[in-house]
Structures are given as C-alpha cells and as structure tokens.
Amino acid sequence: MWRIIVVCLSLFAAGASHAQSVIRLARIADIPDQYVGGEMLRTVYGKLNIKLEFVDVPGKRALALSSAGEVDGEIQRIGTLSRDYPTLLQVTPSINYIEPAVFTTKLHFVVDGWNSIRDYRIGIVRGVGSSEAGTRGMDRVTATTGIENMITMLDADRFDVMVTDLFSGLVAVRKLNLQARIYPLSPPLERIRIFHYLHESHRDLVPKVGQVIAQMEASGELAALRAALVKQVLNTP
C-alpha cells in the first residue's frame, strides 16, 4: 500500500513539475515580428503545458545569451543559424516568415532583389540575420542598435534606404509618426521562412515542439493565429 502511495505521489510531483515548467526565450527588443512570433509560440508551448517568458535584448546580445544557454532559446531566426551557432537547435517546421523590405524617404524604383540596393547607403539593425546576410559584401552598410534608431537615422538622411521586415517597419514608422515621410518600396526583397531555436540542453523538447507546430500548420490554426496577431498590432493606436 505504501509503495502505491509513494508511486502516486511521485507521479503527481512529476506532473506538477511539468505543469510549472518555464522556458525563457531571447526576444529582439522593439521588433514587432518578434512579438508576433513570441505570441505564436506562447500558444504552441501552452499545448505542452509549458509557460514562456521573454528576455528583451538587442539582436547580438540575444544570440550571445541563447547560444551560451543563459536563456533557453530564440523565438525565431533564419534557417542557417545553427551553422554559426551550433548550440542552438532548429525546431521544424518553421514557425513564421518575414519579408525584408526597402524603406526610403525620397527614392522611387521597383525592388528587384538585394542587388538592386547595392549602390545605396543602407541601414540595417545589427544582429538581424536576414539583413546582415542580404547586405553582406555591400560597401555602404550601417548597422544600427535598433529599428527605431534606424528609422530616426533614415529620417535624418544618414542613409538612402533602410531594410527591415515589412510588417515591423510599417508598425515602427507609424509609432514614430513618420508614415507621411518614410514609405516602403515594392515588392519586398524576399520572403524568408524563419524557425524557432532551442539551446541544446533542451534537445528532448525540440521534436515535441516541432510536432505541435506541424499540427497547427496542418489544421490552419498557425496561419490564422499569425493573421490575427498581425492585425492586432497594425490596428493598435
């Protein structure tokens, strides 16, 4: 009888421990698509009875923390991240996508891939992998500390164009009340699938999270959730 009671208590304790599990993820500060991705993951992890907490830091600092295991992972990054940060394990399928776009104050041209901005002075946010990869090898690239800093510098004519995710750029430009002056060019530079990453210490969690994402993708829940979150952010005064 006592053995049965002990076993039951052990199972209860294990269940309670799992119910109270917390995963802390690095979130790039002041980037709206990071908010959207984080809220999508909150739903994913909720289905596993795991609570999420976010640590808001600049992009490079986020990678330093997550790759060292000081936080448990990254909300979303480009698909090649593990090549440079092997301690970060990619969760598949992708959780989200971004559309890097060109914003400017005075230029008008049809965007035709990254090479179409090569000859301009370009602003990017330091630590955003898609922007760093897309502008690699270009001569006049300025890496800024954050998206609002970059927008302010573009407004001051410190460079000719800036590159950021279309959704994030629209939100940030409106927040600074500069939408009459700063506008995106079309089409976006590309569409990039982005993936959630966990530190290798959570290797056992990777397939479990991936399975939930796959199920939500197949049912249409993931796309509907993203659309609702994007709409919510864009409609927030």
| Domains defined along the chain, listed by start | 2-98+193-235 (3.40.190.10), 100-184 (3.40.190.10)
Give the model confidence (pLDDT) of 81-130 as tens digits. Answer: 999 999 999 999 999 999 999 999 999 999 999 999 999 999 999 988 88
Give the model confidence (pLDDT) of 23-36 as tens digits. Answer: 999 999 888 889 99
* Partners of 54 in beta bridges: 25
Q: Which pLDDT score, from 0 to 100, does residue 219 have? A: 98
Looking at residues 221-226, what average pLDDT do you find?
97
Q: Which pLDDT score, from 0 to 100, does residue 4 have? A: 44
Look at 65 and 13; give whichever has higher pLDDT. 65
Confidence at 9, pLDDT banded by 50, 70, 90:
very low
Give the model confidence (pLDDT) of 158-216 as tens digits. Answer: 999 999 999 999 999 999 999 999 999 999 999 999 999 999 999 999 999 999 999 99
CA distance 178 to 104: 11
CA distance 161 to 154: 7
State the amino acid at position 75 in one-letter form: I
Looking at residues 37-51, what average pLDDT do you find?
97
Query: End-to-end alpha-carbon separation of the chain, Å?
Result: 62
Residues 104-108: contacts with CB within 8 Å, 24+ apart?
Answer: 104/154, 104/160, 104/161, 104/162, 104/182, 104/183, 104/185, 105/154, 105/155, 105/157, 105/181, 105/182, 105/183, 107/160, 107/161, 107/185, 108/185
Helix axes 206-219 and 32-46, enclosed angle (nearest 10): 100
**Between vectors from CA 124 to CA 148 and to CA 191, what angle results, nearest 5°?**
105
Q: Which pLDDT score, from 0 to 100, does residue 128 have? A: 87
**CB distance 62 to 74 below 8 Å:** yes
Confidence at 236, pLDDT banded by 50, 70, 90:
confident
Q: Which pLDDT score, from 0 to 100, does residue 235 have? A: 86
* SS3 of residue 97 by DSSP: strand
Taken as a whole, the chain contains a residue count of 237
Confidence at 1, pLDDT banded by 50, 70, 90:
very low
pTM to 2 decimals?
Answer: 0.77
Q: Which pLDDT score, from 0 to 100, does residue 32 have? A: 87
Q: Which pLDDT score, from 0 to 100, does residue 237 have? A: 72
**Between vectors from CA 153 to CA 149 and to CA 156, what angle results, nearest 5°?**
145
Return the half-sphere exposure (C-beta side, CA atoms, 13 A cut-off) of residue 193: 10
Which stretch of 76-80, 101-105, 125-129, 224-228 has the lowest confidence by average pLDDT?
125-129
